[in-house]
Amino acid sequence: MMKDTKLDLTKFKFDKEGLLPVVVQDYESGEVLMLVYMNELALTQTFETGYAHYYSRSKKVVAKFGEKLGNTQKVMVAFLDHDSDTLLLKVKQKGMSDPERNTFTCFPEQLQGAYNEIGGEMFGRLQRIIADCKKNPETGSYTSFLFVRGVDRIGKKVGEEAVELVIASKNSEKAGIVNEAADLLYHVMVLLNATDVKLSEVCAELCKRNR
């Protein structure tokens, strides 16, 4: 979506080493994937191709993200901070941010805080988990079982969970409502994947209705 975008390098304030820090975020989930750097060449190549290129401070070279492994980060949107010295990229990532450790993000370890107000990020993460389960089915996996049964079975479960959520709501017990809502949302996410609908497409439709 950035392809053919004309780049004005005078907008950017590079540091004394000619580098610009870049925060990279997953376009679907909002997860922070990595903190990297660009020089003028990496920045130019990123905007010209629409795919992320970064400068390696250890190797002193510019390279397209994941080029050796066939991975990519397609840049969907880019933001410049108010001081013009930091870039934020929202990308669609193919592969892992850290292939050596096989992690989707370079920030997998939580050091502090309760993770109970994650919001929309969890939907993006769940979408990725469900998609992987569909691609690599596992014996004993409930998600794999649903995919084998097909859309009819998944749709039936969505209907059942919706009814159970309504019943829980009438009982006014918060824990029950939370559990049933989680069950419903999970099955809806499986149904979306089974019908090749992305969460971003649903969010885009909601944005249209909010205008």
Is residue 107 one of the residues assigned to a domain?
A: no
Instruction: Name the E strands within the chain.
Output: 20-26, 32-38, 53-56, 61-64, 72-80, 87-94
128 & 178 share domain: yes
Is residue 135 one of the residues assigned to a domain?
A: yes
88 & 129 share domain: no
Q: Is 145 helix (H, G, I), strand (E, B) or coil?
A: helix
Range of 18's domain?
9-94
Count of domains for the chain: 2
Is residue 169 one of the residues assigned to a domain?
A: yes
Say if CB 39 and CB 20 are below 8 A apart.
yes
184 & 128 share domain: yes
152 & 195 share domain: yes
pLDDT at 117: 54
Q: Quick one: which of 25, 29, 205, 34 has its CA closest to 129?
A: 29
Indicate which CATH number applies to the domain containing 68: 3.10.20.810
| C-alpha gyration radius of the chain | 21
- Cα distances (Å, whole numbers) of residue 37 to 49, 101, 105, 129, 146: 17, 21, 16, 29, 42
Question: Would the pTM of this model clear 0.75, i.e. be above it?
Answer: no
Q: How far apart are CA 37 and CA 78, in angstroms?
A: 14
75 & 15 share domain: yes
Say how far residue 113 (Cα) sits from the centre of its chain: 21
pLDDT at 114: 65
Q: Rounded to 5 degrees, what are φ and ψ at 24?
A: -115, 130
Is residue 110 one of the residues assigned to a domain?
A: no
130 & 205 share domain: yes
10-residue stretch averages of pLDDT, the chain, 211 residues long: 69 96 91 96 96 96 94 96 97 91 87 66 86 91 95 97 96 92 96 93 84 61
Indicate which CATH number applies to the domain containing 194: 1.10.287.1080
Note the residue count of the chain. Answer: 211
Is residue 77 one of the residues assigned to a domain?
A: yes
Is residue 139 one of the residues assigned to a domain?
A: yes
pLDDT at 31: 87
Is residue 116 one of the residues assigned to a domain?
A: no
Say how far residue 144 (Cα) sits from the centre of its chain: 22
